[in-house]
Amino acid sequence: MSKKLDALLKNFGTETVAVIHNWNFLPPVTVALVTVDKKISTDDKLEKAFMLTNSIDDAWWNNKNVTKLFDGDSCRSTMVGDMVLVGSVKYKCKSSGWSRVS
């Protein structure tokens, strides 16, 4: 297969969500793009983005399906107060679950 067709087929069933870190004293910053399965629920997309942008065994930006967007050598893990953009809807991470940001 051609490289273009390979790339198209690879991304056919996926979508990209943006992970936005929110600091109280600085403007929010998009730190990563995460590729998720297009067919899973929004809640599952949010949880997947959260999980993949947390460092457990290795730095989170080394995880498969994560594209690092921050400058520098490191970045904190996603936490309560941070946001994920799914399509055109932004969700804020709560201590338990997510809330839609209006």
Give yes or no for residue 13 having a pLDDT over 70.
yes
| Maximum Cα–Cα distance across the chain | 49
Q: Is the pLDDT of residue 24 over 90?
A: no
pLDDT tens for each residue of 46-70: 999 999 999 999 999 999 999 999 9
Check: CB of residue 66 under 8 Å from CB of residue 58. no
Share of the chain above pLDDT 70, in %: 91
- pLDDT > 70? residue 8: no
20 vs 6: which has the higher pLDDT: 20
